[in-house]
Amino acid sequence: MSPYGQDANAYTLTFSEEFNSFNTNLWNDYIWYETSNPTKNYTVEDGKLKIWPQRDASGNFFNRTIDTDGKYYQTYGYFEIEAKLPVGKGTWPAFWLFNHIGSRRPEMDVMEAYAGGAAPWGFNVNGVAHPQAYAPTVWKGDYDGQLVGSRQYDTGMDLSAGFHKYAVRWEPNKQVYYFDGKEVLTLNVSMGDPMYLMLDLWFGSASGTPDNSTPQGKSNSYEVNYVRAWKFK
């Protein structure tokens, strides 16, 4: 097994989550500053993590975060997921590397998508928003608003129609972001904190506010086939 489109001889596999079960020794189901919403909107089945839009007991769509905070961290390497994205206004799926260290918030967003955003973020099919573009974005996080760089990448495809690979190669002084092995963003930046992994389905931002046009339920999931990480040899 090797990173997609990379030289296998340059890497050693350090993390391989194939989602044959939901491992609570590895994953949390809420972000550190919140508690877990009791409404069930995620599962592991068919070898995939699935997170879907769902209204909770109060009738509101709610954010779901699956992360390795306090359980798994890595500094530098190659990080990759294979995922299919959900449809619907307001949907905001993401894969990031992150940490909260005192007041600092280093953040590497490998993939964020906004189906409900203006083109090319998304497009409508029978009144339902479908994702087409996504963005890798980096915040150095030494102070609030410290944006390093971002790119809206128009894939020209419906990202809910099939699985695609989203990845980053993180070096001491450079980060390269990939879509299906194609380089889409390179940033010359030094970020040396250990980071944990985050997979989430949130709502809002450029995707707008979810409403009755946003399909609920497992059939409209953010599906993650695997999460893998490698270290440099």
At 159-175, the pLDDT tens digits run 999 999 999 999 999 99
Please give the pLDDT value at position 198. 98
Q: What is the pLDDT of residue 228?
A: 98
Q: Are 122 and 105 in contact (CB under 8 A)?
A: no
How is residue 47 written in tokens?
């070898």
Q: What is the mean pLDDT of residues 36-47?
A: 97
* Three-class SS state of 219: helix
Mean pLDDT score of the chain: 97
What is the reported pLDDT for 140?
Answer: 97
Task: Note the CATH number of domain 8-232.
Answer: 2.60.120.200
pLDDT at position 1 is 78
Q: How confident is the model at residue 107 (pLDDT cuts 50, 70, 90)?
A: very high
Residue 71: what pLDDT? Answer: 98
What pLDDT digit, counting tens, does each position of 72-95 carry?
999 999 999 999 999 999 999 999
Q: Using 50, 70 and 90 to split pLDDT, how confident is the model at 2?
A: confident
Q: Output b/e per residue, 106-132; b: 16+ Cβ within 10 A.
A: bbbbbbbbbbbbeeebbeeeeebbbbb
pLDDT in tens, 48-62: 999 999 999 999 999
The residue among 192, 179, 98 whose CA lies nearest residue 131 is 179
Burial class (CB in 10 A: 0-12, 13-18, 19+), 136: buried
The overall pTM is greater than 0.95 = yes
Domain ranges of the chain: 8-232
